[in-house]
């Protein structure tokens, strides 16, 4: 019996966070990620059902992903 796997996009959607946030958590080591594999000549991470459930449970405990670079105190130039 084969184990069902999910892409990073599918896991992020299930957790209710943007893909970039999930990638940020991996980069900052808040989450351990599965190894990168080649699938149809594309580099992907394939997450298991157990990993996806864990991320869903933890998604409410982390702050959101990377902040946008916003200049404070300056108006827009026209």
- The mean pLDDT of the chain is 83
Is the pLDDT at 70 greater than 70, yes or no? no
pTM (whole model) above 0.85: no
pLDDT at position 61: 75
Domains of the chain: 5-58 (1.10.1660.10)
pLDDT at position 77: 57
pLDDT at position 34: 93
Q: What share of the chain is helix, strand, coil (3-state, %, to 5)?
A: 35, 15, 50
Is residue 31 within 8 A of residue 55, CB to CB? The reply is yes
Q: pLDDT tens, 41-58? A: 999 999 999 999 888 888
């Amino acid at each position: 019996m084969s184990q069902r796997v999910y892409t990073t996009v599918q896991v992020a959607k299930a957790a209710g966070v943007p893909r970039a946030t999930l990638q940020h958590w991996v980069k900052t080591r808040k989450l351990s990620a599965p190894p990168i594999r080649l699938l149809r000549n594309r580099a992907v991470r394939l997450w298991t059902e157990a990993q996806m459930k864990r991320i869903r449970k933890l998604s409410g405990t982390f702050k959101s992903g990377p902040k946008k670079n916003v200049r404070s105190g300056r108006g827009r130039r026209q």
